[in-house]
Structure 1
Amino acid sequence: MLEFFTGLQPLQAGETTPDALLDRVRELDRSQVIDRVLVGYSSTWPHNHATAPFALAASERFSPIVAHRPGVMAPVAAARYFATLDVLARGRLAINVVVGGSDKDLRRESDGLPKAERYRRAVEYLDLVRRAWTEPEPFDHRGAYYTAEAVRLQTRPVRGQVPIFMGGESAEAVDFGARHADLYMLWGEPLAGTEERIERVSRAAERYGRAMRFSLSLRLFVGDTDEEAWARAREVERRIAEASGSGAFLRSSSTDTSTGRQRALALTDEELHDDCFWTGLTRLLGGFANSQALVGSEERILDALGRYRELGVDAFLFTTGAEAAWDPALEGFLARAKKELA
């Protein structure tokens, strides 16, 4: 089944009431094409453990993908929190497990483990979370990173498990995702790179006897004509360039040493790839995860999305504009895309 996701920055800088957040959530709740909404995580952002339940309480269809860092909460506490939230959400919850690419951002929350060790800890973390969701009898756990006694949850996820989404390009990330991800989230890349990544993760998952689903994140600039779409893309490029150094738009930190960021930056040696894959914003935003874009007419972008579908992409995370946000103006195009690409 083809799914469409988007992203939500719940409380933006300077907002001191939830009114604008409620407007954004209700706008997404009205969408007939968006299946899930990623609510991201950073040590400097409003905490999504507060904003996601608030959004759920104010909506009927809104289905969050709550980003979560292993290490900021003990695994049994996390299992209990997410199981409870999933029940209150009537099964609408998914979790995006983010091990973290910026050491500086992790140290803000007292997490000083090096990257490779964070992934080893994350494997044990998810092993324990999943067991807490499914084990019928109390159990003890003694591992390299966690000890827990008499673990037992009264509340379990609606479908027995909460779907786990994750991504990452390092060898450790691929192995972790192969073990635990229900869907592997890929940053936007041209067709050849996307095919290589899908094949690599699929082979790793097969070693654990698992099949993998994939999503791809892209920023869309769609127009009735190619010229109209490029005018929109160039206007956003101009706004971001003029705001350089102001912190006005989300961008990658120079302390982010992730393999995914390095791959994204490597793409900026050329501005245009394939037919309509554009890296102009990726260069300006320092390799930011959702800055790679498709630019063109509806027919041109539909053709590009169809080619990604043929490679094995099961879901797309779409945003647009300088803010990498949802725009209801995309609704009609995505309704057509979902029908034609299903």
Structure 2
Amino acid sequence: MVKIFTVDSPFSPGVPNLASLTRQAEKWEASQAIDQVLVGYSALWPHNFATAPTLFALTRRVGLIVAHRPGVMHPTAAARWYGTMDVLSGGGRLACNLVSGSSDKDLHREGDYEIKAVRYERATDYVACMKQCWSAPAKFDYDGKFYKAETVQQFVRPVSGHVPIYMGGDSEDAIDFGAHHADIYMLWGEPLAGTQERIRKVTEVARKYHRVPEFSLSLRLFIGETEDAAWEKARAVETTILQAQGTNRFMRSSKNDQSVGRSRQLSFADEEIHDACFWTGLVKLLGGFANSAALVGTHDQVMRSLRAYRDLGIGAFLITGGAEGLWDPSLEEFLVQAKAAL
């Protein structure tokens, strides 16, 4: 059975308050499709280290993938937060999504001016220290290139001794880091051939570290009773985003973003349709922004496409919908069936 992740805003609409967090938590908890929700990170947003504990307290089943940016605090402090949160949430419901940061502007808001290559090198040091905090049987000193600490000892550790690490990225540095440390390597939506290539490349690098990572794939879904009905939904979203150009309603990649991931997304967006029902319209419209690749079609067409990705080695899907690219409750019934069928 595959896992279903999603992205949603725990503080939408408006600023976070207990009422809005409660509504979101109740929605996720009631879903039979959602296994985990990604709680993102930005220097502009309310801090997820504050919202995540509240969401855990309001739920008993659904897991949270809490994004974290290496560099904003010392890894021993981050390890302590994740270890404590894992225990208090019951164990097994927490994962860490490590993000090196794709926006220099947002990194600068928190005083981080390192270049991307250095950030990945630093992240490797960061995760090594975190893992040692979770597993070391006795006090230890840590002496890495970027981080040092003495007589480290943490009384509260993850229930299983480890918090799963999720990450993604397309650069050579990102692949090496993810192959070394990621439990789940998160891939942006791509046509089947590109996805197969990405899995092969990451797997080959992971062998160097004697590891076998799992993979997730991020997709928006537009499903209709007929193919025309599905395309009506997709085109309506396309129109909504087009009409909002010139505003900040929808996040999009900057033209100055030179990331490998953005370039790769745009490289296959020149052709609008790939495979059976893979659609790149929103990828092009949003400038290669993450989570904008989509599957458009009938129930059977989309299910066949997901099965084809599953056959390549995708063990989890991060599914969103609509113009905002957030959780779409109308996908619930389909995804419950998909979880059982794939």
TM over 0.5: yes
1:229 maps onto 2:230 in alignment? yes
SS at match of 1:149: strand
Contact 2:10 2:16 in 1 (8 A): no
For 1:255 and 1:115, the matched residues in 2 are separated by 14
Give the match for residue 208 of structure 1. 209
1:278 maps onto 2:279 in alignment? yes
- Name the amino acid aligned to 1:245: G
Give how far 1:24 is off: 2.0
- Name the amino acid aligned to 1:89: S
In the TM superposition, what whole-angstrom CA distance separates every residue of 1:257-288 from its partner, at most 9, and x where no partner exists?
32111111222211111111111111121211
1:132 maps onto 2:133 in alignment? yes
For 2:64 and 2:96, the matched residues in 1 are separated by 8
For 1:77 and 1:70, the matched residues in 2 are separated by 11
Q: Unaligned stretches of 5+ in structure 2? A: none
In the TM superposition, what whole-angstrom CA distance separates every residue of 1:139-196 from its partner, at most 9, and x where no partner exists?
1111211110000000000111000011100000011011110010000000000000
Give how far 1:16 is off: 5.8
**How many corresponding residue pairs?**
341
For 1:107 and 1:120, the matched residues in 2 are separated by 18
For 1:274 and 1:168, the matched residues in 2 are separated by 23
Q: Identical aligned pairs, as a percentage?
A: 55
1:24 maps onto 2:24 in alignment? yes
Give the match for residue 190 of structure 1. 191
Give the match for residue 304 of structure 1. 305
In the TM superposition, what whole-angstrom CA distance separates every residue of 1:20-47 from its partner, at most 9, and x where no partner exists?
3321221111011211111111111221
For 2:18 and 2:286, the matched residues in 1 are separated by 28
SS at match of 1:219: strand
Contact 2:16 2:46 in 1 (8 A): no
Give the match for residue 295 of structure 2. 294
1:327 maps onto 2:328 in alignment? yes
Give the match for residue 67 of structure 1. 67
1:105 maps onto 2:111 in alignment? no
For 1:287 and 1:52, the matched residues in 2 are separated by 28
Give the match for residue 171 of structure 2. 170
SS at match of 1:204: helix
Q: Which residues of 2 match residues 7-156 of structure 1 at below 5 A?
A: 7-12=7-12, 14-15=14-15, 17-91=17-91, 92-156=93-157
SS at match of 1:53: helix
For 1:124 and 1:231, the matched residues in 2 are separated by 48
Report the aligned-residue RMSD: 1.2
Contact 1:102 1:258 in 2 (8 A): no
Give the match for residue 6 of structure 1. 6
- Name the amino acid aligned to 2:303: L
Contact 1:102 1:257 in 2 (8 A): no
For 2:339 and 2:120, the matched residues in 1 are separated by 35
For 2:340 and 2:118, the matched residues in 1 are separated by 43
SS at match of 2:197: helix
- Name the amino acid aligned to 2:55: A
Q: TM-score, normalised by structure 1?
A: 0.97
- Name the amino acid aligned to 2:46: P
SS at match of 1:324: coil
For 1:193 and 1:163, the matched residues in 2 are separated by 26
SS at match of 2:5: strand
For 1:18 and 1:286, the matched residues in 2 are separated by 35
For 1:267 and 1:90, the matched residues in 2 are separated by 42
For 1:9 and 1:257, the matched residues in 2 are separated by 27
